[in-house]
Every structure is written in structure tokens, then in C-alpha cells.
Chain A
Amino acid sequence: MKKWQVAIVMLLAALGSWFTVGTQAQAKTYTIATDTTFAPFEFQAKGGKYKGIDIDILNAISKKENINYKLKAISFGAAVQQLSANQVDGVIAGMNITPERKKTFDFSNAYYTSGVVMAVAKDSKIKQFSQLKGKTVALKTGTAGATYAKSIQNKYGFKIKYFNDSNNMYNDVKVGNSAACFEDYPVMSYGIKNGIALKIVSKQYEAGDYGFAVKKGKNAKLLKKFNAGLKAIKADGQYKKIVDKYLHSSESSLTGETASSRTFIGLFTQNLGTIGSGLWMTLELTVISIILATVMGLALGVLGVMPGKVGPAISSTIIYIFRGMPLMVLAFFIYIGFPDLIGHGFKIPAFIAGMITLMLNEGAYTGAFVKGGFQAVDDGQMEAARSLGLPYWTAMRKVIMPQGIRIMIPSFINQFIITLKDTSILSVIGIVELTQTGTLIIARNFEGFKIWLMIAIIYLVIITLLTWLSNWVQRRIN
């Protein structure tokens, strides 16, 4: 009794402090979103810090113009969506200035000009677009490469497959699932220089300008400062220095990694900090979500077996909605859709959104089995309790719940494990948890196999520990 009360108070206090921190941070600081894997414009260097042309330019301009900002690395698609939903103030992510985008966003002056190229596997015989007929082409959603490839798709008769980040796209071409990919020249050339086994086989098409974007009609002051700063760093030579630094060097000198550190152990020790913080985020999300989902699930379960029709109807509806909705859709809805609906610049921190998402989804599943557990308790138990004069809720609490919960324990353990794994889906709204950490590390070192193996082992280890803990609790209760 006492312990869970303390736990809830602590939880509420923690939630409260997040909200305050959140609002304080929003007071003066701009939130600028960037892509997670778009080297050399943005990528995570050793130790988890973001680097790249975009990042350095933004940094240099901010210094010149005294802009306070917080960088938020999420996928490109999510960054664009969040900008249009007012979740972030600006986006700098190698974003092409297109007439289409100009309808929704205001752009700064172009800070870089780039073209689209086609890349194929090193041993591929494909040299021309005409050889793509009937084959699959890998594209990254929302990029100039994707737009260009789409525009020539009918003419050359290829199929299209979309990816959310560059590395998966490159890998798909490398392993031969896709015949080619289309990518911005500097990005592709940087990747190849850093060990991606692809080659560029076309000239640059559709030369386009990269611009810094804000939502149309908003943050004009920020845009003005950006333009002024851009002019200043071009004038004093800083701009050229930044671009040269990334386009004329190899990745290892930038990220601080050496060839000898590419063994499994080497990679692990090197990325310990990044993986550790990702793991911590995963655990934090898991624990908080499990607590919230359990509370919600118990409430739904109790409501579901209440006498009368209203309680069960409410319970079934909530379970129906949140169990039926894919977790990812729910996450996007809460993080991007919901603030959009409310308007007035309402923002919801990604962590809070992620927590609510998990609470609703896992809570609905929990509610379903809690209800089933209560129903599995013999009707005679409730009758015996009531016939003694115990009120409904006392009978529920003292007689039905203790028996029902015992029935539910295996389901609870199962749900905890599912919750832990489901945290990985929250990477789509930019939460850097364990899975996203893996994506980020691979984005700079392209060691897909070793890093995913590492991440998989870590998940298995935590799940094993969680199972042991649950079994111990189960033995204690029985």
C-alpha cells in the first residue's frame, strides 16, 4: 500500500519537473530540427555529438547573430512534418528549396548548391537509366533524389522502394535488393569515401539549392538573422573552411575513429557512452510506461467488469481504439497530429509524447487481460463477499483483485517485455533510445552488422534481466 503510493507521488513529481523544464527551455531558445543521417551535412560523431556542414554553419551563424538554439536530430520526414506542425522553429537538413515546399515554408537564401546522382553497387554493370527497366530503385523519402527518380520513373520503367534513412537505402543497393539509389552528390560521395561499397555512375541532375526553412509566416526574425549570418560567414571565409573540411576529408579524421577500432569490442568500447545514454533512455521509457500502462490497464479492467453497461462500454471502446491503432501511427498522432489540432503553438516534448503513446497502447492491451483476469475469478467469490455486507469496491479490492492479479501475472510479464521492445518504435518521433542510437552510430561508421548485433544482444540482456525480476516477483506473490 504505502510503497505504491510513494511511487506514484515520485512519478508525478518527475512528470511535473519535465513539464517545467520543457516550458522554461521554450522561453528563449529556438528548436532547430535536423536529419539524423545525412553526412556530410549532419551525422553523429564519436561521443554522440552532431557534426556536419549544416551543423557547423548553423553554429557559426548563431555565434555571429546571437541565436540561442537547441538542436533536435530526427528523421528528415519527421523534421519536415514537425516544422509544419509548429513543433520546431526551423529545419536545417540539406533541404532543397522547391516551389512545392515554398507553399508551406519560408526559406533562407541558399547556403549550398547540389545535384542528384545515381549510385549502384561496386560490381554492378548498370551505367545508364535505361538499364533500370523492371528493376527496383531505392529512395529516401522526402529527398531531392526521390523527387527526381519519381519524375523519370515512367520513362525508364523501374520500381521504387522507399527508406527512411540513407544507410538502409545504401545497404539495400549494396546487398542487391535494389539496383540503384538516387542521392545528393555530396552525401553520396562522402559516403563512398567512407567505405560504402557503391559507385556513382551518373552526372549531377536537377541541381538544387539547400536552404534553412521556417514555417511560412513564422519566425521571420530567425530567418533574417540566418541570412545576415550566412552573408557574414561567407564574407569572412568561415563558410569555405567549413565546406572544405567536410568535402575534402575522410570521415575518420572527423569522427575520431581509427581503423583498428572497427572490431566488435573496439566498436563497443568506443560507443559505450552513446549506447549507454540510448540504453538509459530506453529503460527510462520502459519503466515509466510500464507503471503508467499498468495503472491505466487496471483502471480499464476494473471499469470493464463493473456492474451496469456504462463502465464496460467505456472500457471496451478505449481498449478497441488504442489496441487497434498501430503504435507508430499513435506516436505520430500524439506528437504531430495532436498539437496541430490544438494550434496556438502548443508543443509536446517528444519524451512525454512517447510516454503517452506507450501508456495508451500498452495500457489498452493490459486493460484487456486485466478484464479477462477479473472475469476468470469465480462469480461465487463476489457473491460470497457481497453477502457478508462488503460494498462492491471493497469486495473488488479485497477479494476479486488479489485473485485476478495472480491469474494475470504471466500476462503482465509478457506485456512488460513487449513494452520494452516497443520503445524502439518511438525513434520515429526523434527519441534517441537504444535502437535510434544504433541507427546513428551506423550512420557514421557503416558497421551495420556489428552494431545491430550489439544492440540485439543488449536488448536480450535487459529482457533476460526483466524476466528474472518478474519471475522473482511472481514467486514472492505466490
Chain B
Amino acid sequence: MAKVIVKDLHKSYGDNEVLKGLNLEVQDNEVVCMIGPSGSGKSTFLRCLNDLEIPTQGQVVISGYDLSDKGTNINLVRENIGMVFQHFNLFPHLSVLQNITLAPVQLNKESKVEAEKTARDLLATVGLSDKADAMPKSLSGGQKQRVAIARALAMHPSIMLFDEPTSALDPEMVGDVLDVMKKLAAKGMTMIVVTHEMGFAKEVADRVVFMADGLIQESGKPDDLFDHPKSPRLQDFLEKVINV
């Protein structure tokens, strides 16, 4: 069974329908990149996958758990889905290490000692071993985002959601963050990435999904999609993005 199943997903804010009926399946170990113009509903779609947004209609099933089912414990489902935000959302009152260990310790996943060991290992993976005791405000944007990734990984999720993880970064910081994400993909993590980094999508994604006007317009393998776009919307979009 597919790891993520989305059926006929609708989301409205008042009269404004942002998602107009999306269907998507993501398999285990698959990396899906979602591209599309601003306001196309990519982020809203991503946020529906861990219930940060509640769909108006449709079904989201994560690892067999139906999110719209009242009996589903959303907290347990969320433990299994890590999320990385555009603006990092690190906890400013906690040190880097505390940011990473908070959830595992609070949720009794690991003892404090175990969680700290895990945290240090993760910090090594993202190349920030020396920042364990630093406070978030002393870090650069790229460093913050790598800590945020480590924080999400500390819960040992099997799915990772990335919501424009590099959009708020200075250009020279983008590479470090993408490198970490590539490593993660190489290890077989199931990932759904909303991004404007076409290079990353081309290189890493198993599948690229193009969204516009609240609908999936086109999807396929990166080479097919980027080199042979079918829909005029995608052709138009790629022209603009690549010419920049």
C-alpha cells in the first residue's frame, strides 16, 4: 500500500477554494517534488498531510491511518511525519540541543541521555556538531534550517515534508540545506518537497508534480516533465523559471 494516499482533496477558506480536488499517491522511499506558481496551493496541500490544515472535503491516508477518521490519534501520526518549514520555526527560548530533544523526551520516545546522543549524531549529519549549545538567534538561516531538519528527524519519522525549505535563505546558504536533503533522500527517506529549486527537483526527485490553480496539472519523472512539458501552463511556468 502506498505510504501517502490523497483522494479528492478540497480546501476552502470561506468562499475561496484553494484546493479543488487533488489525487496523489506516494510510495515508500519515493521523493516527490511539488512545483508551481505562488498561490497554486502547494503549501496548503502539504499542510493537509499532517492536519495543520483540515481539509474541507476528501481523504488523506498516511501509512494506513485515515486523518479524517475521528478515531485516528493525530499526534501519533504526526510523530511519523517530520515537517520542515520555510521560516524554520525553531524554538527561540531553547538551545539547539533542547530544540532537538524536546519532542522525543516529552513524548517518552527516548530518555534524556539517549535523546541527546541522537541529537548530537543528527547534528553531525547536518554538519553542525559545534552548535549543540548555541541559541537559535546566534545561527545563520542555513544553520537554522539544518537544525530544523535535525529536529524533525529526531522523532525517527518515516515521511518528511518540506515546505519551501530554502525560500527564506540567502543564496549562499541554499547549497548546505539541499545537500542535507539529498543525503536524506539517498538514505531512502520518503519525502514530499514543495520547492522552487528546479535543479534539486531534477536531480533528486523520483517524481515531480506541477500544481496550478488548486489542481495537479501534470506529473511525471523529472526528465520527462522538465524536457517535454505537455500542458501550456507548465510550459509557461518553466519558461519563466528557467529564464530567471
Q: Which residues of A contact B (CB under 8 A)?
A: 378, 380-381, 383-391, 394, 398-399, 402-403, 406
CB < 8 Å: which of B52, B92, B148, B155 contacts A389?
A: B155
Is A390's CB under 8 angstroms from B107's CB?
yes
CB < 8 Å: which of A383, A394, A398, A402 contacts B85?
A: A383
Q: Given A399-B91, A403-B93, do A388 and B52 touch, yes or no (CB 8 Å)?
A: no
Q: How far is the CB of B235 from chain A (nearest CB, A)?
A: 35
Q: Which of B75, B82, B93, B155 has the most CB of A within 10 A?
A: B93
Interface size on B, residues (CB 8 A): 25
Residues 146-166 of B, flagged 1 when their CB comes within 8 A of A and 0 if not, give 001001100100000000000
What are 20 contact pairs spanning A and B, CB under 8 A?
Answer: A378-B89, A380-B85, A380-B87, A384-B85, A384-B90, A384-B148, A386-B52, A386-B78, A387-B52, A387-B81, A387-B82, A388-B78, A388-B151, A388-B152, A389-B107, A390-B103, A391-B75, A394-B106, A403-B92, A406-B93
CB < 8 Å: which of A378, A387, A406 contacts B83?
A: A387
* Complex alpha-carbon distance, A387 and B155, angstroms: 11
- Specify which chain B residues have a CB less than 8 angstroms from the CB of A384 in the assembled complex: 83, 85, 89-91, 148
Q: Specify the chain A residue showing the minimal Cβ separation from B78.
A: A389
* Complex alpha-carbon distance, A390 and B82, angstroms: 12
- Specify which chain B residues have a CB less than 8 angstroms from the CB of A402 in the assembled complex: 93
Is B103's CB under 8 angstroms from A388's CB?
yes
Question: Which residues from 127 to 160 on chain B have a C-beta closer than 8 Å to any C-beta of chain A?
Answer: 148, 151-152, 155
- Specify which chain B residues have a CB less than 8 angstroms from the CB of A390 in the assembled complex: 75, 102-103, 106-107
Is B79's CB under 8 angstroms from A388's CB?
yes
- Specify which chain A residues have a CB less than 8 angstroms from the CB of B103 in the assembled complex: 385, 388-390
Q: How far is the CB of B167 from chain A (nearest CB, A)?
A: 14
CB < 8 Å: which of A386, A388, A391 contacts B155?
A: A388
* Complex alpha-carbon distance, A390 and B108, angstroms: 11
Q: Specify the chain B residue showing the minimal Cβ separation from A399.
A: B91
Task: Give 4 new A-B contacts, CB below 8 A, not counting A387-B52, A399-B102.
Answer: A383-B85, A388-B79, A388-B151, A389-B103
Say yes or no: is B113 at the interface (Cβ < 8 Å to chain A): no
Residues 24-54 of B, flagged 1 when their CB comes within 8 A of A and 0 if not, give 0000000000000000000000000010100
* Number of residue pairs spanning A and B whose beta carbons lie under 8 angstroms apart: 60
- Specify which chain A residues have a CB less than 8 angstroms from the CB of B107 in the assembled complex: 389-390, 394
Say yes or no: is B76 at the interface (Cβ < 8 Å to chain A): yes
* Complex alpha-carbon distance, A384 and B75, angstroms: 13
Is B155's CB under 8 angstroms from A381's CB?
no
* Complex alpha-carbon distance, A391 and B108, angstroms: 13
Q: How far is the CB of B68 from chain A (nearest CB, A)?
A: 17
Q: How far is the CB of A382 from chain B (nearest CB, A)?
A: 9
Q: Which of A384, A385, A398 has the most CB of B within 10 A?
A: A384
Is A383's CB under 8 angstroms from B78's CB?
no
* Complex alpha-carbon distance, A381 and B151, angstroms: 13
- Specify which chain A residues have a CB less than 8 angstroms from the CB of B85 in the assembled complex: 380, 383-384
- Specify which chain A residues have a CB less than 8 angstroms from the CB of B75 in the assembled complex: 389-391
Q: How far is the CB of B79 from chain A (nearest CB, A)?
A: 4
* Complex alpha-carbon distance, A399 and B136, angstroms: 14
Is B76's CB under 8 angstroms from A389's CB?
yes
- Specify which chain B residues have a CB less than 8 angstroms from the CB of A388 in the assembled complex: 78-79, 82, 102-103, 151-152, 155
- Specify which chain A residues have a CB less than 8 angstroms from the CB of B83 in the assembled complex: 384, 387
CB < 8 Å: which of A380, A389, A403 contacts B79?
A: A389
* Complex alpha-carbon distance, A394 and B102, angstroms: 10
Residues 203-233 of B, flagged 1 when their CB comes within 8 A of A and 0 if not, give 0000000000000000000000000000000
- Specify which chain B residues have a CB less than 8 angstroms from the CB of A386 in the assembled complex: 52, 78
Q: Given A388-B79, A388-B103, do A383 and B89 touch, yes or no (CB 8 Å)?
A: yes
Q: Specify the chain A residue showing the minimal Cβ separation from B51.
A: A386
Q: How far is the CB of A373 from chain B (nearest CB, A)?
A: 13
* Complex alpha-carbon distance, A387 and B159, angstroms: 12
- Specify which chain A residues have a CB less than 8 angstroms from the CB of B80 in the assembled complex: 389
Q: Given A389-B75, A389-B79, do A381 and B106 touch, yes or no (CB 8 Å)?
A: no
* Complex alpha-carbon distance, A154 and B82, angstroms: 83
Q: How far is the CB of A478 from chain B (nearest CB, A)?
A: 10
Q: Specify the chain A residue showing the minimal Cβ separation from B93.
A: A402
* Complex alpha-carbon distance, A398 and B93, angstroms: 10
- Specify which chain B residues have a CB less than 8 angstroms from the CB of A406 in the assembled complex: 93
* Complex alpha-carbon distance, A394 and B78, angstroms: 14
Q: Which of A378, A388, A391 has the most CB of B within 10 A?
A: A388
* Complex alpha-carbon distance, A384 and B90, angstroms: 8
Is B52's CB under 8 angstroms from A383's CB?
yes
Q: How far is the CB of A379 from chain B (nearest CB, A)?
A: 9
Closest 9 CB pairs of A and B: A389-B79, A384-B89, A388-B103, A380-B89, A387-B83, A389-B78, A402-B93, A389-B75, A394-B106
Q: Specify the chain A residue showing the minimal Cβ separation from B103.
A: A388
- Specify which chain A residues have a CB less than 8 angstroms from the CB of B76 in the assembled complex: 389
